[in-house]
Amino acid sequence: MRAMQLVKIPLTLDPIKSAKMKSIYSGGIESSQLPRLLEASAGFCSDIQVQFSCGNDEFGTVIVKGHAQGEVSLVCQRCMKEFIQKISVEFCYSPLTAKSTEEDIPDTYEPIDMDETGHVEIVKLIEDEFIVSIPFFPMHDVDTCSKEQDFTLGDIDDGVEERPNPFAVLQNLKK
């Protein structure tokens, strides 16, 4: 196996250079670097653990491929209590260059823009992955949600209302 360079997560990344060096990045992104994820949470987000590698696929296309894990607090939309949601994301980016336009990049890769210095804001991209992974309607698992009991009772009550009231039937018989 080829010796690989293990590097800490930088805020910005030169994907072309990193692909040439076949760099592997591994480390944490501190929660203080994730203000938008914190904003999307219920007030807490953990540091994110990230691993990714840079290289070229068999056609020479530059790819940045990896995964990340972290936790955010969310408000359960069933019981309205906060809970901690684990989030894992996988990504495979390909930078848009003069040689590889959006049409050249296979659908399995997510095209990303580079700035004028040839860098991508990798931490922001990973933060975006987490933000879009937050469920639109966050809820506890059924087993752990404190509202589950009430929810079941609510369903039964609704069922009763749809049936004719037995006392009303009796009242009609008396007449």
The contact set with Zn ion (CB under 5 A) reads: 76, 78-79, 140, 145
Residue 61 Cα to chain centre, angstroms: 25
CB 74 within 8 A of CB 83: yes
Tell me the closest approach of the beta carbon of residue 84 to Zn ion, in angstroms. 12
Inter-CA distances, 31 with 35, 110, 123, Å: 7, 24, 11
- CA dist list (Å): 101 to 57, 119, 162: 16, 16, 59
Cβ–Cβ under 8 Å, residues 16 and 62: yes
Which is closer to Zn ion, CB of 18 or CB of 85? 85
Taking alpha carbons only, the member of 49, 26, 45 closest to residue 134 is 45
Nearest to Zn ion of 30, 150 (CB atom):
150
- Of 6 and 142, which CB lies nearer to Zn ion in the complex structure? 142
Min. distance of Cβ 59 from Zn ion in angstroms? 47
Q: How many CB atoms lie within 10 A of CB 67?
A: 15
Please, what is the minimum distance in Å from the beta carbon of residue 175 to Zn ion?
A: 48
Least separation, in Å, of the C-beta of 132 and Zn ion?
22
Closer to Zn ion by Cβ: residue 78 or 124:
78
